[in-house]
């Protein structure tokens, strides 16, 4: 049979091997393209029940609209979210930098402090539970309420500090709870193994509990990417002495009816979040190669 | 059996949550089903800035026209978004806020212009700057930005000064504390806050202690609070729009006629008291102060005749031209691509923004002779 001659069979096998590695990425790209096509042609507007003015287009689009009362026809050009982003690339990157300065530092500090609280809770059991409860209660307050409160306290004199504090608070609790769970969930045979090797409690803590807490720590880090981004964005929206930062520029665009700009900033925030998540996932892959979640399915 | 208490408690919690949710949901309208339900979205908090609508609501003018109006206060919602998405049928905002939306293709349109004059001022303390009639070189001028700054930019440019504005908070602390030379103040709101502030122990500021530049006395006053609707909805509900407009004109007429209280700070048959009872976002004194100042912007003059009251809401094309030219020059959303929006704003004609047919038809027909028969009962 011609189809399965030796050279063809090898090509088919190679194709199937390559396809197996990239098929999920290809489907994803196709889906994104489909959404953009639906969006640009206006089908998405019809599906969601939005008018062309309510939802801006990804690329430049000119359309006419008829005034229902006067019958007058006007031609309107929407700049398009992507075109806007490229036209204002410098401003957007500058504001992203301002936000990232608070975001990354707050994220890392929040993770460190949260892990420290979990360590405290594990080592000193009597006070530990109390610390965790306080943290959980503190972060149960919605960020939308917490951000203006903290801005009022010291947002006008130290806007950067206010942003940092919000991110730290929101990231701490998630990390503390997850790390505590990781530090205190010991597989039975691991504990026994440490006893067999006559390890001191300090050694068994460092060699057994700390590595065992890493998977939970990475879970918390991944969740905290979204939490930190939300917190810093909202904190910047409510700041009134500064004019820079993604949240602030987003709010100015929103207030002056520039929806294209507002959407561009939303997309930028999403992309930043995705990049951060990808970085954390990559580090996780290398750091906890031994864990069940990193097994190739 | 061990699991029963847990199941019971979680079941009770879930049931109580559902009960709370049901309590919060809008209930059935009892009795009257003939009234048309509409929602009005305000630009800011419940205050005398919107006294005409509150008067029409509380005194029953809307009910007389067959409408059941829910007035929603602003501050957190964008009134433009609320009307565009259909959450509200009517909205009030500044014309300079509405025009960028219309320039970008939205189907909103203004149907009445209640504020005939601009209420924007800039204020400075005579103690700090001496007696001044204009802004001088090097003095800092503040504004809340976010669409409120256009008149100031045009004013500074007309004086030949650099158009640099400092961002101002929503209180007047920066002016009173000395960090700002000139602060923006609406005649009916922030100016009142300064007049209520203490200059020294027990003594308040008076107008003599302040330098006030009224934008309405300059060439750069812009149109402010208008009533707007979505033109597509309005085309299909013309009778509702006319009914709302009639009742609103009557409401504003009553509110302006009864804006001056018998005694400031005391509740009585005046607009300030009515608004305060409907929404106490600020004190009774401040609501009354605001009402007296707003009335000056809605109807010109002290001795107002009935025919003047019938002109409430008039849309004047020359005022629109000033607004359009200033906005086309100074509109900004902080981006390099504003040039396209400014050009689009510059091309908007009077009839693109204002649809006068409704007002032309109803304003003379509104009967404003019996206003004194409506007494606000506390």
Does the pLDDT value for residue A234 go beyond 70? yes
Closest CA to A115 of A60, A64, A34, A177: A177
CB nearest A69 (choices: B109, B334, B341): B109
Average pLDDT, chain A: 88
Q: Measured between alpha carbons, how far is A75 from A141 in angstroms, rounded to an integer?
A: 47
Contact between residue B108 and residue B231 where contact means Cβ atoms under 8 Å apart: yes
Averaged pLDDT, A151-172: 87
Averaged pLDDT, B189-197: 89
- pLDDT for A99: 94
| CA of A265 vs chain B CAs: smallest distance (Å) | 12
Residue A240 dihedral angles phi and psi, to the nearest 5°: -120, 0
Averaged pLDDT, A65-76: 85
**pLDDT class for B29, splitting at 50, 70, 90?**
very low
Does the pLDDT value for residue B32 go beyond 60? no
Provide the edge-to-edge strand list for the sheet that holds B210-214: B183-186, B120-125, B210-214
Q: Measured between alpha carbons, how far is A79 from A99 in angstroms, rounded to an integer?
A: 25
Give the residue, B326 or A124, on which the prediction is more confident.
B326
| CA of B338 vs chain A CAs: smallest distance (Å) | 9
A vs B, Cβ pairs < 8 A, gives 103
| Closest alpha carbon within chain B to A265 | B335
Does the pLDDT value for residue B49 go beyond 90? yes
Output the six-digit token pair for B297.
């912007």
The residue assigned the tokens 């504005």 is B165
CB nearest A87 (choices: B103, B333, B336): B336
Q: Measured between alpha carbons, how far is A92 from A98 in angstroms, rounded to an integer?
A: 10
Measured between beta carbons, the chain B residues lying within 8 angstroms of A87 are 335-337
Contact A68 B234 (CB under 8 A): yes
Residue B192 dihedral angles phi and psi, to the nearest 5°: -65, -35
B164 touches chain A (CB under 8 A): no
B80 touches chain A (CB under 8 A): yes
Q: Measured between alpha carbons, how far is A39 from A16 in angstroms, rounded to an integer?
A: 33
**pLDDT class for A296, splitting at 50, 70, 90?**
low
| CA of B66 vs chain A CAs: smallest distance (Å) | 23
Averaged pLDDT, B356-377: 86
Strand-strand pairing, B120-125 and B108-113: unpaired
- pLDDT for A291: 81
B336 touches chain A (CB under 8 A): yes
Q: Which residues pair with B93 in a beta bridge?
A: B226
Measured between beta carbons, the chain A residues lying within 8 angstroms of B344 are 76-77
Measured between beta carbons, the chain B residues lying within 8 angstroms of A248 are none
Question: What are the tens digits of pLDDT across the range B272-324?
Answer: 999 998 887 888 999 999 999 999 999 876 667 888 888 899 999 999 999 99
Q: What angle do CA B369, B374, B378 make, to 5 degrees?
A: 160
Averaged pLDDT, B337-351: 85
3-state secondary structure of B285: helix
Q: Measured between alpha carbons, how far is B263 from B288 in angstroms, rounded to an integer?
A: 9
Contact B235 A69 (CB under 8 A): yes
Q: Measured between alpha carbons, how far is A173 from A228 in angstroms, rounded to an integer?
A: 12
Which one of A50, A258, A262 makes the best mutation probe of the B interface by having the most chain B beta carbons within 10 Å?
A258
| CA of B67 vs chain A CAs: smallest distance (Å) | 22
Averaged pLDDT, B355-362: 92
B337 touches chain A (CB under 8 A): yes
Q: Measured between alpha carbons, how far is A212 from A234 in angstroms, rounded to an integer?
A: 34
Does the pLDDT value for residue B356 go beyond 50? yes
**pLDDT class for B31, splitting at 50, 70, 90?**
very low
B209 touches chain A (CB under 8 A): no
Measured between beta carbons, the chain A residues lying within 8 angstroms of B355 are 69-70
Averaged pLDDT, A254-274: 91
In DSSP notation, B99-116 reads: HHHHHTT--EEEEEE---
- pLDDT for B334: 66
Question: What are the tens digits of pLDDT across the range B68-81?
Answer: 999 999 888 889 99
Region of poorest pLDDT, from A157-171, A180-194, A283-297, B281-295: A283-297
Contact B109 A67 (CB under 8 A): yes
What Rg, from alpha-carbon coordinates, does chain B have? Answer: 23
| CA of B283 vs chain A CAs: smallest distance (Å) | 22
Q: Which residues pair with B210 in a beta bridge?
A: B125
B333 touches chain A (CB under 8 A): yes
CB nearest A258 (choices: B169, B236, B335): B335
**pLDDT class for B231, splitting at 50, 70, 90?**
very high
B367 touches chain A (CB under 8 A): no
Does the pLDDT value for residue A80 go beyond 50? yes
B148 touches chain A (CB under 8 A): no
Kindly provide the residue ranges of all beta strands, DSSP E only, lying in chain B, ordered along the sequence: 36-41, 67-72, 90-94, 108-113, 120-125, 141-143, 165-167, 183-186, 198-200, 203-204, 210-214, 225-230
Within 13 Å, how many C-alpha atoms sit on residue A125's CB side?
A: 2
In percent, how much of chain B has pLDDT > 70? 93
- pLDDT for A218: 94
What Rg, from alpha-carbon coordinates, does chain A have? Answer: 26
Which one of B333, B347, B355, B358 makes the best mutation probe of the A interface by having the most chain A beta carbons within 10 Å?
B333
- Rounded to the nearest angstrom, the gap between the alpha carbon of residue A214 and the centroid of all alpha carbons in its chain is 20
CB nearest A256 (choices: B85, B235, B333): B333
Averaged pLDDT, A83-109: 92
| Closest alpha carbon within chain A to B171 | A240
| Closest alpha carbon within chain B to A80 | B337
Which one of A69, A75, A239 makes the best mutation probe of the B interface by having the most chain B beta carbons within 10 Å?
A69
CB nearest A68 (choices: B169, B232, B331): B232
Question: What are the tens digits of pLDDT across the range B160-172?
Answer: 888 888 888 877 8
Sign of CA pseudo-dihedral A283, A289, A290, A293: positive
DSSP single-letter state for residue B135: P
**pLDDT class for B110, splitting at 50, 70, 90?**
very high
* Burial profile A260-274: b = 16 or more Cβ within 10 angstroms, e = fewer: bbbbbbeebbeebbe
Contact between residue B281 and residue B291 where contact means Cβ atoms under 8 Å apart: no
CB nearest A53 (choices: B104, B145, B352): B104
**pLDDT class for A74, splitting at 50, 70, 90?**
confident
Q: Which residues of A fall below an 8 Å CB-CB distance to B?
A: 51-54, 63, 65, 67-70, 72, 74, 76-79, 84, 87-88, 91, 156, 240-241, 243, 249, 251-261
B232 touches chain A (CB under 8 A): yes
Contact B84 A53 (CB under 8 A): yes
Q: What is the dihedral of CA B192, B198, B204, B208, to 10 degrees?
A: -70
List of residues 6+ apart from A89 with CB closer than 8 A: none
Contact between residue B325 and residue B279 where contact means Cβ atoms under 8 Å apart: no
Measured CA to CA in angstroms, residue B192 lies from A226, B67, B118, B246, B292 at distances of 43, 34, 16, 31, 11
Measured between beta carbons, the chain A residues lying within 8 angstroms of B106 are 51, 53-54
- pLDDT for B264: 87
Average pLDDT, chain B: 87
Task: Give start and end residues of each alpha helix (H) in chain A.
Answer: 6-41, 43-48, 81-87, 89-123, 125-140, 143-154, 159-184, 188-196, 201-204, 210-238, 246-255, 259-287
Within 13 Å, how many C-alpha atoms sit on residue A131's CB side?
A: 20
Contact between residue A237 and residue A215 where contact means Cβ atoms under 8 Å apart: no
- pLDDT for B244: 95
């Amino acid at each position: 049979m011609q189809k399965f001659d030796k050279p063809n069979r090898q090509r088919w096998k190679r194709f199937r091997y390559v396809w197996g590695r990239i098929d999920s990425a290809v489907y994803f790209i196709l889906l994104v393209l489909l959404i953009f096509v639906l969006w640009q042609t206006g089908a998405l507007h019809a599906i969601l029940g939005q008018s062309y003015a309510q939802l801006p287009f990804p690329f430049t689009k000119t359309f006419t609209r008829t005034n229902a009362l006067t019958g007058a026809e006007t031609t309107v050009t929407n700049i398009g979210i992507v075109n806007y982003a490229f036209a204002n690339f410098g401003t957007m990157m500058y504001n992203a930098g301002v936000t990232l300065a608070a975001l990354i530092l707050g994220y890392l500090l929040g993770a460190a402090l949260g892990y420290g609280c979990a360590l405290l809770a594990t080592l000193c059991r009597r006070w530990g539970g109390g610390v965790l409860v306080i943290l959980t209660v503190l972060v149960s307050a919605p960020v939308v309420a917490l951000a203006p409160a903290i801005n009022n306290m010291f947002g006008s004199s130290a806007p950067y500090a206010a942003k940092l504090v919000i991110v730290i608070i929101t990231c701490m609790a998630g990390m503390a709870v997850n790390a505590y769970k990781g530090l205190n969930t010991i597989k039975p045979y691991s504990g026994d193994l440490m006893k067999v090797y006559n390890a001191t409690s300090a050694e068994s803590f460092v060699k057994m509990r700390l590595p065992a807490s890493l998977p939970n720590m990475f879970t918390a880090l991944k969740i905290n990417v979204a939490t930190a981004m939300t917190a810093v964005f909202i904190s910047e929206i409510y700041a009134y002495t500064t004019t820079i930062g993604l949240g602030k520029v987003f709010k100015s665009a929103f207030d002056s009816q520039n929806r294209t700009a507002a959407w561009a900033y939303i997309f930028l925030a999403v992309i930043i979040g995705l990049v951060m998540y990808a970085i954390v996932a990559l580090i996780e892959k290398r750091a906890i190669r031994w864990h069940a979640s990193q097994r190739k399915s | 059996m061990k699991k029963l208490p847990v199941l019971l408690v979680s079941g009770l919690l879930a049931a109580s949550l559902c009960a709370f949710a049901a309590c919060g949901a809008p209930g059935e309208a009892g009795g009257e089903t003939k009234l048309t339900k509409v929602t009005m979205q305000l630009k800011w908090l419940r205050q005398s800035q919107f006294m005409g609508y509150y008067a029409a609501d509380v005194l029953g003018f809307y009910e007389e026209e067959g409408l059941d109006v829910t007035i929603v206060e602003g501050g957190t919602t964008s009134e433009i978004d609320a009307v565009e998405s259909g959450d509200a049928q009517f909205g009030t905002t500044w014309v300079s806020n509405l025009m960028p939306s219309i320039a970008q293709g939205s189907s909103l349109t203004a149907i009445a212009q209640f504020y005939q004059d601009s209420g924007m001022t800039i204020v400075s303390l005579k103690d700090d700057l001496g007696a001044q009639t204009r802004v001088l070189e090097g003095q800092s001028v503040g504004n809340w930005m976010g669409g409120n700054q256009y008149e100031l930019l045009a004013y500074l440019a007309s004086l030949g000064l650099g158009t640099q504005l400092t961002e101002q908070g929503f209180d007047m602390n920066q002016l009173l504390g000395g960090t700002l030379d000139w602060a923006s103040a609406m005649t009916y709101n922030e100016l009142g806050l300064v007049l209520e502030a203490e200059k020294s122990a027990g003594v308040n500021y008076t107008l003599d202690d302040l330098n006030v530049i009224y934008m309405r006395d300059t060439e750069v006053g812009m149109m402010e609070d208008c009533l707007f609707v979505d033109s597509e909805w309005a085309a299909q509900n013309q009778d509702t729009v006319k009914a709302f407009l009639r009742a609103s004109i009557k409401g504003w007429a009553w509110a302006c006629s009864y804006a001056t209280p018998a005694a400031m700070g005391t509740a009585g048959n005046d607009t300030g008291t009515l608004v305060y009872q409907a929404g106490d976002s600020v004190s009774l004194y401040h609501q009354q102060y605001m009402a007296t100042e707003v009335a000056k912007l809605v109807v010109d003059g002290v001795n107002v005749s009935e025919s003047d009251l019938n002109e409430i809401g008039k849309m004047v094309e020359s005022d629109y031209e000033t607004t359009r030219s200033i906005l086309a020059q100074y509109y900004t959303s902080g981006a390099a691509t504003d040039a396209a929006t400014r050009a689009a704003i510059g091309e908007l004609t009077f009839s693109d923004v204002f649809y006068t047919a409704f007002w032309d038809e109803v304003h003379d027909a509104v009967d404003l002779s019996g206003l004194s028969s409506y007494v606000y009962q506390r």
